[in-house]
Amino acid sequence: MTTSEPRTTAEAVEELRTIAHGWADGRRGDTTELIHAADRALWAGVDAPSLAPLAGLLTVERDLAAELFAQVTDELGFGLPPADGGPDGLPLARWWAAEIVAGRLDPGEGAALIMDEIVEVHGAHEALTPMIDAVRALWSPSPPGPSPTEITTRLTRAARELLTRIPDPRRSRP
């Protein structure tokens, strides 16, 4: 085992979550990465019904990896948004906001993703106003600028408000 491989269940789940971040925002990697991560997660003791089938895929079955990975992320409760981010991008913005609030996504990175991938692509939806306002206020040219701690606090507060404004799509499933 190399030092980059997860040694604990928590580390393995975090590796899967990191991969899920990339898949959620369109940076889909090689499906072989999903299969190897599933194998490492099994060895680390992660329990999810679809993990073993994903880890056991043969090279010729790699086209099944994305679907199985989506099942694994559901089973682990990651709450990934629809693959296309939804028609207005709000489910994806909500997911990034939840990741910010939970401390799994850097607030600056999450705010940039929301601004670049949602606001720029789909427009300034009213539900995104707290994040848009926070970003504009933080990046306005009025010296002295806010401290890194203040930036983190403001962006996390804006992300928390997004969670109250954007309905959780998982709650509306039948």
Question: pLDDT (tens digit, 9 = 90+) per residue, 45-71?
Answer: 999 999 999 999 998 999 999 889 989
Q: Are residues 68 and 17 in the same domain?
A: yes
Residue 144, both tokens: 């002295």
Share of the chain above pLDDT 90, in %: 57
Residue 50, both tokens: 């679809």
Question: Which band of pLDDT confidence, cut at 50, 70 and 90, is reported for residue 171?
Answer: low
Look at residue 146 in the predicted model and tell me its pLDDT. 84
Residue 79 has pLDDT above 80, yes or no: no
Look at residue 104 in the predicted model and tell me its pLDDT. 87
Between 27 and 51, residue with greater pLDDT: 51
Q: Are residues 94 and 167 in the same domain?
A: yes
Q: Are residues 65 and 118 in the same domain?
A: no
Q: Are residues 63 and 119 in the same domain?
A: no
Query: From the CA atom positions of the chain, what is the Rg in Å?
Result: 18
Look at residue 18 in the predicted model and tell me its pLDDT. 85
Half-sphere exposure of 114 (CA within 13 A, CB side): 33
Cβ atoms of residues 93 and 129 within 8 Å: no
User: How many structural domains comprise the chain?
Assistant: 2
Q: Are residues 32 and 63 in the same domain?
A: yes
Q: Are residues 96 and 167 in the same domain?
A: yes
3 part of a folded domain: no
- 0.85 surpassed by pTM: no
Q: Are residues 94 and 168 in the same domain?
A: yes
Q: Are residues 63 and 101 in the same domain?
A: no
DSSP string for the chain: --TTS--SHHHHHHHHHHHHHHHHTT----HHHHHHHHHHHHHHT---TTHHHHHT--GGGGGGHHHHHHHHHHHTT--PPPTT--SSSHHHHHHHHHHHHTTSS-HHHHHHHIIIIIIHHH---GGGHHHHHHHHHHTSS-SSPPPHHHHHHHHHHHHHHHHHHS--GGGG--
Which residues form the domain of 33? 9-75
Q: Are residues 37 and 67 in the same domain?
A: yes
Residue pLDDT, tens place only, 120-152: 988 999 999 999 999 998 887 677 778 889 999
Most confident listed range (25-29, 75-79, 103-107): 103-107
80 part of a folded domain: no
Q: Are residues 55 and 97 in the same domain?
A: no
19 part of a folded domain: yes
- Calculate mean pLDDT across residues 27-56: 90
Residue 107 has pLDDT above 60, yes or no: yes
Q: Are residues 26 and 65 in the same domain?
A: yes
81 part of a folded domain: no
